[in-house]
Structure 1
Amino acid sequence: MRSLFALIFCVSVVAASGAFAETRVFIIANPADGHGADQCLARSDKCGAQVARLYCQSRDFAQASSYRRVDPDEITGSVPKSGANCSQGHCDEYVAITCQR
Structure 2
Amino acid sequence: MGNQMTEMLKGTLEGIVLAVLSARPAYGYEITARLRDQGFSDLVEGTVYALLIRVEQRGFVDVEKVPSEKGPPRKVYSLNSQGQEQLDGFWTTWRFLTERIEQLRIAQGEGEN
Larger radius of gyration: 1
Structure with greater contact order relative to length (CA < 8 Å, sep ≥ 6): 1
Higher helix share: 2
TM over 0.5: no
TM-score (norm 1): 0.29
Q: TM-score, normalization: structure 2? A: 0.27
